[in-house]
Amino acid sequence: MKMQQYLDSTYLKTATQAGLTQAENQTIAEGFVLEAIEEGFKLIMIRPDMVSVARKLIDTATSNVLVGTVIDFPEGTASIEQKISEAKKAIEDGADELDFVCNYQAFKNGNNTLVKEEILQGTQFAFANHKVVKWIIEVAALNPHQIVQLTALIKNVILTNFKEDCYANVFLKSSTGFYKTENGAPNGATVPTITWMLENATPLPVKAAGGVRNYEEALKMIQLGVKRIGTSAAKAIIQGQTSNENY
């Protein structure tokens, strides 16, 4: 098993969040891109404003690293039209994969119709542009029953509206890594949350994002059945170290 091909190396902090200037933060993001190229990670996951920079660095290096970005991040409450507009710009800038934040607040409020429609339209848009799409459900904001329900809802929209050969290109993703939990509770992937997702997402693949910080944790997620891992600790993972990053 080549661990690198499961890893979506991730840097999603804004300059404000990192306590840096815009230029300093861009330098760090570029460093993550160059590291992904050097280490042969599957994908570099960055904010939309860094997509064009990443695309240029990767193309210059003639690398196969994919460029992923987040849409409506991290809240997920924008309109479907706003999400599609942001995704369109990301594709124009060179993104290969689109990680949409599902409107989990609408789901929690009982507005399943809105959630189903954004899943349908967002996935249709991604496929029309030959892109992989991932739907972030933000497990830390949901109870176990809600995790199961929302995972199943997304799966059912895809199975009802798309052909079987499309399934491998629609992921269920656990977390943004930015949700604020109480009392230090995990805000990312855990064994229970990923297990619930896997049990209810199949045949769609699952991406474990947030909280995977060392090789043993990454291996456990792969053994559970995830196809991708989103982490800011990708290099530490392949080096057998443990990162102290939050994501």
- Give pLDDT tens digits along the chain (247 positions): 799 999 999 999 999 999 999 999 999 999 999 999 999 999 999 999 999 999 999 999 999 999 999 999 999 999 999 999 999 999 999 999 999 999 999 999 999 999 999 999 999 999 999 999 999 999 999 999 999 999 999 999 999 999 999 999 999 999 999 998 988 788 899 999 999 999 999 999 999 999 999 999 999 999 999 999 999 999 999 998 887 766 6
**Beta-strand (E) ranges in 102-160?**
132-136
- Report helix, strand or coil for 60: helix
189 phi and psi angles, rounded to 5 deg: -70, 135
Polymer length of the chain: 247
- Residue 42: what pLDDT? 97
Angle subtended at Cα 135 by Cα 184 and Cα 58, rounded to the nearest 5 degrees = 95
Q: What is the CATH number of domain 3-238?
A: 3.20.20.70
d(CA 159, CA 63): 33
Amino acid at 227: K
- Quick one: DSSP state of residue 102? P
d(CA 1, CA 215): 13
Domain locations in the chain?
3-238
User: What's the pLDDT score for residue 246?
Assistant: 61
CA 189 to chain centre: 11
Compute how many other C-beta atoms are within 10 angstroms of the C-beta atom of residue 168: 12
184: left (phi over 0), alpha (psi -120 to 50) or beta: left
Given the residues 131, 134, 173, 235, select the one marked as catalytic: 173
Both tokens of 207, joined, read 């991406």
Residue 192, preceding peptide bond in cis (omega within 30° of 0): no
- What pLDDT is recorded for position 242? 82
The burial of 145, by beta-carbon neighbours within 10 Å (0-12 exposed, 13-18 middle, 19 or more buried), is given as: exposed
Catalytic residue among 13, 42, 207, 235: 207
Whether 8 is a known active-site residue: answer no
Q: Catalytic annotation on 116?
A: no
Catalytic residue of the set 96, 99, 134, 155? 99
pLDDT at 247: 63
Residue 182: per-residue pLDDT: 86
Name residue 230's beta-bridge partners. Answer: 8, 209
| Residue 99 falls in the annotated catalytic set | yes
Q: Helix, strand, coil proportions of the chain in percent (round to 5)? A: 50, 15, 35
Classify burial at 160, counting beta carbons within 10 Å of its beta carbon; exposed 0-12, middle 13-18, buried 19 or more: exposed
Which residues are CB-neighbours of 204 under 8 A, at least 6 positions away?
Answer: 154, 155, 158, 167, 170, 171, 172
